[in-house]
Structure 1
Amino acid sequence: MDQTASHPHAPDVAFDGGDLDCGNGLLLLIRRHIDPLPRGGLLEIRSTEISVDDDLPAWCRLTGNELVSFLKEGKQRSFLVCKGRLEERAPAPPPVAAPAMSVPAAPRPARVPVAAPAIPALAVMGIGSWPRPRWMIDAMHAYVEGRLPEAAFQETADDAVRLAIAAQEKAGVDVVTDGEQRRDSYASFVASRLDNCQLIPLTDLLPLVDHPEEFEAELRALDIPAGDVRHPAVFGRLARSRPLVAHEVDFARTVTQKPVKVALPGPYLLTRTMWMECISDRAYDSREELSADIVRVLREELAELMDAGAALVQLDEPVLSEVVFSGAKSKRSFMCGALSESLAPEQELAFARDLLNAVLDGFPRERTALHVCRGNWTPDESVALSGSYAPLVATLAQVRVGAYLLEMCTPRAGEMEILKALPDDARIGVGVVNQKDPHVEEVDAVSARIAHAIDLFGRERVLLHPDCGFATFADNPICCTGSATDKLGAIAAAVARVR
């Protein structure tokens, strides 16, 4: 774009990025200021960095925002960017202030602890996520972009949770989840709940990766616009001034009499997700320092979840599979948490084990679980990670958790017998239906898998579930609500037959 003598419109918000380039934090500052603007809102970006002349127009094209005008005087540059297209601009939009980095919430009243019901043997449950209605997804995007107030978003989510729990109860489960209806994905949602953290579109990470063309190809594998998938970015020291998921348990318990399970992204997953060069190193000197704050906020959350009456708190660590299996693939597979660099597998596994045990220390073991799978972003089995639990089982056995909820139905997961190496006093959750397969499994086949698990581990230790959630990413569910209900129903019918 040719420079002009002056901007044709006055900006609604302006900021000075100094000498930052797009790969060293400028895009994150842009995201902080542009997200609260309405469609058609104008942002002025001042910069002295020459590379921004080329990188910012490319970012605008990639994200669907319009570069309206460009000024330059000496080293000082000024870009006027419209959120969306200029023709969307209202006649006189009110000024929008940039969001504060951290606004601590008012102190919450102390909880009165609620007793959690016990989970029976051969209990049937989902892993966590459930397909969201289209109106829920629309509300989620509007909320993340600042177009929908918090109260309206939560009211919409309440309705979606009622539907998700009703469908699970219709299927005959013993333990329900709220379907993660309030989350954009199983892990990145924490950025919208923690202080000094923000969700940014994955497209904003393109300047931060070594091979942007390969990264773009990985994003295309999601089959959804990369701008709709968001990633946590850390701008300061993490703090928890409100619950991450305890409010989900609070509401779920008002609409069901069944035990409620809730999933939390594990500490290793969150550390790998949030530690990205040129972002988090502005707040933390190392990923170990970042992980200490992640452990602290997860322990605070776990304590509140125990008081809230969660029957089972599941820590999700699917990125452990990426640690040991991705080397066999020709290119890195997409998995939230696998975007940052890692050390050798043995070092990563030890780091993950220590983080998990630090979070779990002192909590009732029988109310905690660990979930591991091999990725759940697409129904295409050919691009998913593959391999038995052999390189993982020793690490899993050292995690002081009460239950393991593991992908087991697909041949990609190897033989069930290897799970005999897990502690005898832990419960074993076995995936007995494949949520990626549109075909609903026959009850006879599911019954056979359950009987095999009982032979290996004993009836009292076995829990039953799908291999993973039904809608890991809100915009890209693995299956529809009808199929999810039928698959849980097949497990329930098979358990009834075994019982």
Structure 2
Amino acid sequence: MSIPTEPIGSIPRPAALQSALAKHAEGALSDAELTAYQLQATAETLSKLAELGSPVLVDGEQAKPSFATYPIAGLTTLDPNGAVIPFADGHTRQLPLLTAGPFRYQVHAESYLREAQRHTGLPVKQAVIAPSALSLLYPPEPIEGYSREQFLADLADEAEADIRGALDAGAHAVQLDFTEGRLSLKLDPSGGLLNDFIALNNLVLERFSDEERARIGVHTCPGADHDATHSADVDYAGLLPDFFRLKAGAFYVQLSGEPDRERVLRVIAEHLPPGVRVFVGVTDPNDPAVETAEQVRDRVLEAARHIPVEQLGTCDDCGFSPFADDTSTSRETAFAKIEARLRGTELAAQALGH
């Protein structure tokens, strides 16, 4: 396919895995038993994506507790009462706070990638959490004997190792999830927090060579949890100019759920750096309706009126189930939307003569 297309990351967990997660939480299922369910779901996810003809696969994050918290699963120096993230439908998610240093990842994304590669010879993309999201773990009051500056230095080292491990393991691409970018402008309309996030992410990205950064991308969206967003009311035009300052080779941009896609595309066209690719979202995980291939085709052609085709790709707006307990979108619906993206991107490529 001459217009590249990639999934973003999470796929809803199958019913058997959801049941296993509930039993594990109740203490009725061992860690080893839960792992067996996760590995089976991972294999099934990769097989289904390959069957649909996806040129790049993901493991669907079947073994992650969430897209954001996998590195700290099992960390004992955490207070659960951290930052609260409100969503438009009234539900919230809450991050923990670090209580002691030094900060170290408990799990690196390379482990998920290597498990996925056991089941396929096709290219596999690995999603990782951006260091900017994990910077929110440090509490407002300093931790005795462990300054914020030392925490950020440790976090940068751990984030680099997370990305580098996946690259070295042969990931087709490594995608940094940066959903907190748009949210930061809601928390701090001055843009100061966003600038801090960009600076921290670039501190890590600048440790990689140009060749390595060509395989590193960054994803932005306003959230997609229980079919609700946390920052869709924030003007995209406030984020995107700074978003494209990130030292990455690809950018994955939620777009299909935007009320005025043409306006967003004009901002992208104005600020897109040369030599990088932007993957625009053409399916909306927050919308229960399954797009048709023709709708996707038209969204790609719309984007191609603003973005050079050689810099254009397509993706889903967001992951379909970024938290393991999110069952708002069925597994069947997610795969149907992915199939529409694949077929629609192919139709658009044909229409553009590529």
Normalising to structure 1: TM-score of the pair?
A: 0.63
Aligned residue in 2 for 1:281: 143
Choose the corresponding residue for 2:227, options 376, 379, 396. Answer: 379
Whether the aligned pair in 1 keeps the contact of 2:5 and 2:313 (CA below 8 Å) is: yes
Aligned residue in 2 for 1:389: 236
Whether the aligned pair in 2 keeps the contact of 1:314 and 1:368 (CA below 8 Å) is: yes
In structure 1, stretches of 5+ residues that fail to align are 1-119, 210-214, 327-341
Aligned residue in 2 for 1:466: 316
The offset of 1:121, in angstroms, is 4.5
Indicate how the Cα distance of structure 1 residues 380 and 400 shifts in structure 2: closer, same or farther if over 3 A, else same: closer
Aligned residue in 2 for 1:296: 157
Choose the corresponding residue for 1:322, options 169, 183, 204. Answer: 183
The offset of 1:389, in angstroms, is 2.8
The offset of 1:436, in angstroms, is 1.1
The offset of 1:433, in angstroms, is 1.0
Instruction: Report whether the alignment pairs 1:260 with 2:129.
Output: no
Indicate how the Cα distance of structure 1 residues 283 and 238 shifts in structure 2: closer, same or farther if over 3 A, else same: same
SS at match of 1:404: strand
- C-alpha distance in 2, partners of 1:376/1:393? 19
Choose the corresponding residue for 2:300, options 439, 450, 466. Answer: 450
- C-alpha distance in 2, partners of 1:366/1:165? 24
Indicate how the Cα distance of structure 1 residues 443 and 283 shifts in structure 2: closer, same or farther if over 3 A, else same: farther
Whether the aligned pair in 2 keeps the contact of 1:447 and 1:494 (CA below 8 Å) is: yes
Choose the corresponding residue for 1:357, options 159, 181, 202. Answer: 202
- C-alpha distance in 2, partners of 1:346/1:379? 27
SS at match of 2:191: helix
Aligned residue in 1 for 2:266: 417
The offset of 1:220, in angstroms, is 8.4
SS at match of 1:415: helix
The offset of 1:277, in angstroms, is 3.7
Whether the aligned pair in 1 keeps the contact of 2:278 and 2:311 (CA below 8 Å) is: yes
- C-alpha distance in 2, partners of 1:218/1:486? 26
SS at match of 1:281: coil
SS at match of 1:236: coil
Aligned residue in 2 for 1:307: 168
Whether the aligned pair in 1 keeps the contact of 2:181 and 2:194 (CA below 8 Å) is: yes
Tell me the C-alpha RMSD between the 2 structures: 2.8
- C-alpha distance in 1, partners of 2:264/2:134? 29
In structure 2, stretches of 5+ residues that fail to align are 350-354
Indicate how the Cα distance of structure 1 residues 197 and 191 shifts in structure 2: closer, same or farther if over 3 A, else same: farther
Aligned residue in 2 for 1:435: 285
The offset of 1:400, in angstroms, is 0.5
Whether the aligned pair in 1 keeps the contact of 2:285 and 2:334 (CA below 8 Å) is: yes
SS at match of 1:409: coil
- C-alpha distance in 1, partners of 2:118/2:89? 40
Match of 1:244, as an amino acid? Answer: H
Indicate how the Cα distance of structure 1 residues 141 and 298 shifts in structure 2: closer, same or farther if over 3 A, else same: farther
- C-alpha distance in 1, partners of 2:182/2:298? 26
Whether the aligned pair in 1 keeps the contact of 2:281 and 2:314 (CA below 8 Å) is: yes
Whether the aligned pair in 2 keeps the contact of 1:470 and 1:477 (CA below 8 Å) is: no
The offset of 1:138, in angstroms, is 4.1
- C-alpha distance in 2, partners of 1:266/1:125? 19
Match of 1:356, as an amino acid? Answer: N
Higher-RCO chain (CA-CA 8 Å, sequence separation at least 6): 2
Q: What percent of counterpart residues are identical? A: 24
Whether the aligned pair in 2 keeps the contact of 1:268 and 1:317 (CA below 8 Å) is: yes
Query: What per-residue deviation string (whole Å, max 9, x for no partner) do you get for residues 33-92 of structure 1?
Result: xxxxxxxxxxxxxxxxxxxxxxxxxxxxxxxxxxxxxxxxxxxxxxxxxxxxxxxxxxxx
Whether the aligned pair in 1 keeps the contact of 2:283 and 2:316 (CA below 8 Å) is: yes
Aligned residue in 1 for 2:352: none
- C-alpha distance in 2, partners of 1:392/1:258? 34
Indicate how the Cα distance of structure 1 residues 350 and 145 shifts in structure 2: closer, same or farther if over 3 A, else same: farther
Aligned residue in 2 for 1:42: none
Choose the corresponding residue for 1:173, options 49, 54, 57. Answer: 54
The offset of 1:375, in angstroms, is 1.4
- C-alpha distance in 1, partners of 2:162/2:26? 25
The offset of 1:349, in angstroms, is 1.9
Instruction: Report whether the alignment pairs 1:125 with 2:6.
Output: yes
- C-alpha distance in 1, partners of 2:337/2:88? 29
Indicate how the Cα distance of structure 1 residues 440 and 216 shifts in structure 2: closer, same or farther if over 3 A, else same: closer
The offset of 1:181, in angstroms, is 0.8
- C-alpha distance in 1, partners of 2:325/2:346? 34
Indicate how the Cα distance of structure 1 residues 308 and 148 shifts in structure 2: closer, same or farther if over 3 A, else same: farther
Select the structure of larger CA radius of gyration: 1
The offset of 1:385, in angstroms, is 2.1
The offset of 1:232, in angstroms, is 3.5
Normalising to structure 2: TM-score of the pair?
A: 0.86
Instruction: Report whether the alignment pairs 1:232 with 2:101.
Output: no
Match of 2:169, as an amino acid? Answer: A
Match of 2:168, as an amino acid? Answer: D
- C-alpha distance in 1, partners of 2:342/2:161? 34
Instruction: Report whether the alignment pairs 1:487 with 2:337.
Output: yes
Whether the aligned pair in 2 keeps the contact of 1:322 and 1:374 (CA below 8 Å) is: yes
Indicate how the Cα distance of structure 1 residues 232 and 164 shifts in structure 2: closer, same or farther if over 3 A, else same: farther
Indicate how the Cα distance of structure 1 residues 141 and 299 shifts in structure 2: closer, same or farther if over 3 A, else same: farther
